[in-house]
Amino acid sequence: AQTVTQSQPEMSVQEAETVTLSCTYDTSENNYYLFWYKQPPSRQMILVIRQEAYKQQNATENRFSVNFQKAAKSFSLKISDSQLGDTAMYFCAFMKLRFKTIFGAGTRLFVKA
Amino acid sequence: SQTIHQWPATLVQPVGSPLSLECTVEGTSNPNLYWYRQAAGRGLQLLFYSVGIGQISSEVPQNLSASRPQDRQFILSSKKLLLSDSGFYLCAWSVEGQYNEQFFGPGTRLTVL
């Protein structure tokens, strides 16, 4: 069974600095999708970034980028130039089987002014 | 553009009472629909998903049920609530037939006393 592990329950970063959130997953599959979702205090969950496992190039979305290490089954999220609005819970998620997305327990990120 | 609505936003119910949470999606047709539960400090647990009207798949055994009476309407119900049903319930939708991101509703916070 697939599992997703986020080993950092909480993290903090100073505004304008860079922070990396860790995620590892366990699967025997070769083709799958990985996601980072953000859940701010308003609780509205939104997608931050996605990565297809068959693509070697790491996905990038503005200040957000991932370090996808397929062999190591690692999918970390890097937030550059952190902003106060980045304060949120971040969930790593894995999708292989259609309709079934496995979420990690989340990392709570605090951006300090 | 597509939007997803959930109501109520918050709900406090006594143990043993019934439950009905509603989710509707606008701006898309034949979406895949999902119900998740998020316990405090934990990730999302998939409860139900639906690929079409009247088609419901359950992921975990529980005293909850789901129904999809219309294409863009998804309802989560219970005949008798338990204390353990307390949590944050999220409805989500995704594009039919694609491995893709899920779009989440604003959620319902349920407290069972």
DSSP code per residue over A25-72: EE-S-SS-EEEEEEE-TT---EEEEEEETT--SPPEETTEEEEEETTT
> Angle CA(B113)–CA(B40)–CA(B7) in degrees, nearest 5?
65
Note the pLDDT of residue B98: 58
Task: Name residues 16-75 of chain A within 8 A of B (Cβ).
Answer: 33, 35, 37, 42-47, 50
| A43-101 pLDDT per residue, tens | 888 999 999 998 889 999 999 999 999 999 999 999 999 999 999 999 999 987 667 88
Nearest to A99 among B32, B88, B104 (CB): B32
Peptide bond into B8 cis (omega under 30): yes
Dihedral pair phi/psi, residue A6, rounded to 5°: -115, 110
Provide the token pair at A94: 């894995």
Distance from CA of B37 to the nearest CA of A (A): 11
Distance CA B27, CA B91 (A): 16
**What integer pLDDT is reported at residue A30 of this predicted model?**
87
d(CA A8, nearest CA chain B) in Å? 12
> Given this model, what pLDDT does residue A112 score?
97
Nearest CA in chain A to B103: A46
The reported pLDDT for the residue numbered A96 is 78
Are the CB atoms for A108 and A89 separated by under 8 Å? Answer: yes
Q: Which residues pair with B49 in a beta bridge?
A: B34, B57
Can you give the length of chain B in residues? 113
pLDDT at B97: 55
C-beta separation of A66 from A75 below 8 A: yes
- State how far the Cα of A79 lies from the Cα of A83, in Å rounded to an integer: 9
Measured between beta carbons, which residues in chain B are less than 8 angstroms from residue A40?
A: none
pLDDT, tens digit (0-9, with 9 covering 90-100), for A3-44 = 899 999 999 999 999 999 999 999 988 888 999 999 998 888
Contact B38, B90 (CB under 8 A): yes
Query: Strand A101-103 relative to strand B73-78: parallel, antiparallel, unpaired?
Result: unpaired
Helix (H, G, I), strand (E, B) or coil at A86: helix
Q: Which residue's entry shows tokens 């959130």? A: A21
B104 touches A: beta carbon within 8 Å: yes
Q: What's the CA gap between B25 and B103, in Å, rounded?
A: 10
∠ CA B66-B80-B33, nearest 5°, is: 15
For chain B, 113 residues long, the average pLDDT of each consecutive 10-residue run is: 91 97 93 89 86 89 90 96 93 76 92 95
What is the reported pLDDT for A74? 97
Residues 6+ apart with CB under 8 A from A14: A82, A111, A112
Structure tokens at B8: 């109520």
Phi-psi region of A81 (alpha: psi -120 to 50; beta: other; left: phi over 0): left
pLDDT at B15: 97
